Amino acid sequence: MTHAIWLIPDDESLASISRLVARCSRFFGTAPLKPHLTLLSRLGITDEKVLQLKAERLATKLTPFEMQVLGLGFRAYMYQAFYVQLEPNAGFQSARERALQAYDVPERQSFPHISLAYGDMPDDAKREFQPVIEPDLPEFIRFDRLQLVRLQDPYPEWRVLWEKNLKRTP
């Protein structure tokens, strides 16, 4: 078992991405997932009270931001099987740096994306479905919530332990 810090799309973006997740789930025959952008994973701490305290402090330092959608992508990796790729920007980089500091984790490569489907699907099926769903991608996705999540296999068993709306700037 491990934990992650997720950024969650605002209600409008979440509705749009959730519709895409549902379509992917039907097409690929996979379990639906909760749309999110992983800000940080493998936190190196197992005490969930400590993890939550750090998440609470982190949330006070973050504000909502949006990211541009670059398109769809896929990999031969279960947790990046079919995803929306996002353009890293100052809002994301700032949130990521603050998360690394909050959890005292060394810098590691980041790949900003929102998965639409997890699993071991054939690349041919992914290539077939990509042009079908791509026209329905939003141009931007806004993130306005932070979650602390317990990750344990299988992924439908992942549990949100804590959530907070990010503060809005005046």
pLDDT at 100 over 80: yes
Angle between helices 48-59 and 90-102 (to 10 degrees): 140
Residue 63 in any domain: the answer is: yes
Residue 170 in any domain: the answer is: no
Closest among 10, 39, 58 to 111, alpha carbons compared: 39
Which CATH number fits the domain that encloses residue 41?
A: 3.90.1140.10
Report the pLDDT value the prediction gives residue 31, as an integer from 0 to 100: 92
Q: How many domains does the chain have?
A: 1
Residue 51 in any domain: the answer is: yes
Residue 6 in any domain: the answer is: yes
Residue 70 in any domain: the answer is: yes
Contacts of residue 70, Cβ cutoff 8 Å, sequence gap at least 6: 85, 86, 87
pLDDT, tens digit, 9 for 90 and up, residues 66-97: 999 999 999 999 999 999 999 999 999 999 99
- For residue 160, which phi and psi values (nearest 5 degrees)? -75, 125
pTM of the full structure:
0.94
SS3 91: helix
Residue 125 in any domain: the answer is: yes
Report the pLDDT value the prediction gives residue 169, as an integer from 0 to 100: 65
pLDDT, tens digit, 9 for 90 and up, residues 4-53: 999 999 999 999 999 999 999 999 999 999 999 999 998 989 999 999 99
Domain extent at residue 14: 2-163
pLDDT at 109 over 70: yes
Report the pLDDT value the prediction gives residue 8, as an integer from 0 to 100: 98
**How many CB atoms neighbour CB 52 within 10 A?**
15
